[in-house]
Structure 1
Amino acid sequence: MSPVRAPRLPRVLRRTVVAVAVVLTVLTVALTVAMFVDDASIEGARVETVATVLAVSPLRTGIEFVDATGITIRPTGGVLYPGNLQVGQQFKVEYAANDPSIVRVAGRSAENVLVSVALMLMITWLVAALLITCASRWRPSVGRSARRSGSGGTRIVG
């Protein structure tokens, strides 16, 4: 008698859920490390000035400011930690003197987002655990209906 194999779909689903959760975790950790690296660059040669918000979108907040040498800078990546900024608003920024494209809102840093990052990772793995549990308990509906009806398959009367 051969061993009964688990249905393939739940196994594939579990592996896919774990893979997606791992990818999200790696990306989140990489982004967090990048934020701390940018903050270290700013702290190493910090200059403070006033910037103006030019545009706000879901992916970036465009700003411009004049650096210590009098050159107007418009960082292509926008500003780090831009929460609650509006077009036309003027606010203080800190930037790296050796690389003015690395700019953050004054007084904000990667430490401000650690709670959000931890919460996102927790939710990711809680959802993954829920989906894995559901996939583990899943059984094909054909088998269930046959067991419920009590027929056990085709009957031959005769």
Structure 2
Amino acid sequence: MNAQMVARVRLGVLVTATGISILAVLLVLAAWRNDHTIDSDKGVATAEVLSAGSLRSAIIFVTPDGVTHNPQLGVLYPTNLTVGQRIEVEYARSDPDLVRVAGRDARVAIVPAGSVIVVTWLIAGPVIWYLRRRENSAAPSTPTSL
């Protein structure tokens, strides 16, 4: 590979790692925004877990007005839930599909997002360093005149 091609690959790695890092930060910011929406118009209910997963868990709950809700996107912060479990949830009364497990908030997203950023740069850093060295060794040297 010539120096120009190596430089392009290095730039691609840098852009990809930066993009992944930005997305991780945006994920935490979106979680905080959702929490703010819930906290500004909070309703509380008891829900039943219909399906449980580490990324998405389906629940069903009834609001005080007697309406049953089964949020299409599931519940926020769904870790450690089991099918059939009854849990307390907090939801935005203006949008009952925006619901989280009671007592959990955006802070639970910080460690996973931070881990993604650290792992991304632990991989990208050495690759960028290697490509930089390769780019420098592949670059044609210019003669110096005295």
Matched-pair identity in %: 37
1:27 is matched by which residue type in structure 2?
Answer: L
Deviation at 1:57, TM superposition (A): 4.2
Is residue 2:131 matched to residue 1:135? yes
Write the mapping of 1:7-156 to structure 2, written as runs, cut at 5 A: 7-57=3-53, 59-138=55-134
CA distance in 1, matches of 2:82, 2:102: 16
Which gives a bigger RCO, structure 1 or 2 (Cα 8 Å, sep 6+)? Answer: 2
Report the TM-score, using the length of structure 2 for normalisation.
0.83
RMSD value, Cα:
2.1
Report the TM-score, using the length of structure 1 for normalisation.
0.78
In terms of Rg, which structure is larger?
1
Specify every segment of 5 or more residues in structure 1 that has no aligned partner in the other structure, as ranges. 1-5, 144-158
2:8 is matched by which residue type in structure 1?
Answer: V
- Contact persistence 2:21–2:116 (CA under 8 A): no
Deviation at 1:43, TM superposition (A): 0.5
- Structure 1 window deviating more from structure 2 (115-124 vs 65-74): it is 115-124
CA distance in 2, matches of 1:61, 1:95: 15
What do residues 122-149 of structure 1 show as CA deviations (whole Å, max 9, x unaligned)?
222222111101222337xxx9xxxxxx
CA distance in 2, matches of 1:60, 1:113: 14
CA distance in 2, matches of 1:57, 1:83: 7
- Number of residue pairs matched by the alignment: 136
1:152 equivalent in structure 2 = none
1:85 is matched by which residue type in structure 2?
Answer: L
CA distance in 2, matches of 1:106, 1:11: 49
What do residues 6-45 of structure 1 show as CA deviations (whole Å, max 9, x unaligned)?
5233212211111111211221122111101110011111
Deviation at 1:83, TM superposition (A): 0.5
CA distance in 2, matches of 1:80, 1:93: 10
The residue matched to 1:138 in structure 2 has which SS? Answer: helix
The residue matched to 2:113 in structure 1 has which SS? Answer: helix
1:156 equivalent in structure 2 = none
CA distance in 2, matches of 1:134, 1:51: 52
Specify every segment of 5 or more residues in structure 2 that has no aligned partner in the other structure, as ranges. 139-146
CA distance in 2, matches of 1:123, 1:25: 10
